Structure 1
Amino acid sequence: MIGGDIIESIITIKDVSKIYRVGTEKVVALECINLEIPKGEICCILGTSGSGKSTLLNLMAGLERPTTGSIVIKGKNIEKMSENGLARFRQKNVGFIFQSYNLLPSLTALENVSLPLVFRGVSKKIRNQRAKKLLEQVGLGTRMNHKPNQMSGGQQQRVGIARAFVANPDIIFADEPTGNLDSKTTVEIMNLITNLARENNQTLIIVTHDVNIAKYADRIVYIFDGNIKKIEKTVKVEGEVI
């Protein structure tokens, strides 16, 4: 329930804990996490380094498995899936935006953006059309044939954003998406990400340590020492379409 209304949850996390073994010791990264994220929400997981926020993102993305508890995404218990099943599920439903961009250096912007569609078996003509459209939307219409080393950090992140959105996934995970950018570029990138997500009613989950980034979300989930301390709604930041 949010604000007294019944919500359609796209992600349901129930009693999730993650414990790592370091030698003979147990390190509790997350402890009994419960969280529901509705479809179309922009949700920020906010916490300092070591708080467990990145572990929570990795669990939701199926990159790690919980020690206990369940994670249901679009009605599927992802912790029960095989590795191949998880890979197919992510390919179909999830996009990622990384702090370090994670672009392939030998590929052009157009090729980097179209890559997720290659794995979906989309024809070259269609995937290039989609990639060009997204690159134009993110302001890189004249940079399509540039490789990452020919672009600034902000431009590389725009390529990363276009790549995350090109297959129109239901869920976008953004891990410290502006961590390597200056303040002006940070505002531009956050406006861009949130505007794209809202236009397409996509669920956007942002992991950050930056309170200013968190303000772009509909809700902020504060995490500390592996526990959710509080969840609060926030006033939306009205961004400019770039």
Structure 2
Amino acid sequence: MGQEKIVALDNINLEIEEGEICCLFGTSGSGKSTLLNMLAGLEKPTKGTIKIKNKRVDLLNESQLATFRQKHIGFVFQSYNLIPSLTALENVSLPLIFQGMPKAKREIRAKEMLKAVGLSKRMHHKPKEMSGGQQQRVSIARAFVNRPKILFADEPTGNLDTHTTIEVMDMIRDIARKYNQTLIIVSHDPEIADYANRIITIIDGNIHKIEVKNGEEREIIYERKE
């Protein structure tokens, strides 16, 4: 920024295992969302290497990244990012269009996902006709519909009340476990972090602490020495 150099992420060294539920945890400005964007190929690092499924994501061009995300990655955002003019069924079907799936098969898969998130009676409603919690369920169905190996969830319950937050997080976790998908959650909320097998606390662009959950207990396996 002008003459000032801003270091968003500094010396991050991290591996996330297949099928793991992992939380990137920290306050606003800690660098957790930047790290998620780097992992998902939405931003490119100035230095370093990002590998997913033995592929150097940081070296892919935009077209290659789009294809890679389409095949392997799903997203759940805080702001839902639904298309207002489309019904729930059409929103959920959308990723399958880019995979070239025939319409009849797309609709069957999308209906299955909407049923799985409890929206079988809302398939033909548009986003403005649904509550925030229902819109987020549509967003979850859309993220999972092409059965991605990795799901990124960026503050997925930030706009929801406590009761709906628990419902939505239970849903995301259960679907990910069912299909052995890797789930990477970004959050500043300790209750959301508690859903993860591993909690990676980020402060000022560095990994400050790594905790592993054993049953109801958390064990600190790494803590940064200042």
Report the TM-score range of the alignment, normalised by the length of the smaller protein. Answer: over 0.9
Partner of 2:223: none
Does 2:123 align with 1:122?
no
d(CA) in 2 for partners of 1:122 and 1:26? Answer: 46
Does 2:32 align with 1:40?
no
Letter in 2 for 1:37: I
Q: How many residues align?
A: 216
Measure how far apart 1:235 and its partner are: 4.5
* Per-residue deviation, residues 30-89 of structure 1 (Å, max 9, x unmatched): 001000000000000000000000000000000000111000000100111111101110
d(CA) in 1 for partners of 2:215 and 2:197? Answer: 6
Partner of 2:34: 55
d(CA) in 2 for partners of 1:175 and 1:83? Answer: 21
- Alignment partner of 2:206 out of 203, 209, 227: 227
Which structure has more strand as a fraction of its residues? Answer: 1
Does 2:75 align with 1:107?
no
d(CA) in 2 for partners of 1:227 and 1:35? Answer: 11
Letter in 1 for 2:86: L
Letter in 2 for 1:227: N
d(CA) in 2 for partners of 1:81 and 1:42? Answer: 26
Partner of 1:201: 180
Any residues of structure 2 matched to 1:90-239 within 5 Å, and which? 90-235=69-214
Measure how far apart 1:236 and its partner are: 5.9
Partner of 1:23: 2
TM-score by length of 2: 0.94
Conservation of the 8 A alpha-carbon contact between 1:51 and 1:223: yes
TM-score by length of 1: 0.88
- Alignment partner of 2:56 out of 70, 73, 77: 77
Residues 103, 219 of structure 1: alpha-carbon distance in 2 compared, 3 angstrom cutoff: same
d(CA) in 1 for partners of 2:214 and 2:119? Answer: 30
Measure how far apart 1:234 and its partner are: 1.8
Partner of 2:219: none
d(CA) in 1 for partners of 2:13 and 2:215? Answer: 24
d(CA) in 1 for partners of 2:159 and 2:141? Answer: 18
Conservation of the 8 A alpha-carbon contact between 1:216 and 1:236: no
Contiguous gaps of at least 5 residues in structure 1: 1-21, 238-242
Measure how far apart 1:97 and its partner are: 0.1
Conservation of the 8 A alpha-carbon contact between 1:217 and 1:236: no
d(CA) in 1 for partners of 2:91 and 2:181? Answer: 21
Letter in 1 for 2:205: G
Aligned-residue identity in percent:
65
Partner of 2:222: none
Conservation of the 8 A alpha-carbon contact between 1:99 and 1:180: yes
Residues 60, 53 of structure 1: alpha-carbon distance in 2 compared, 3 angstrom cutoff: same
d(CA) in 2 for partners of 1:40 and 1:202? Answer: 5
Letter in 1 for 2:147: N
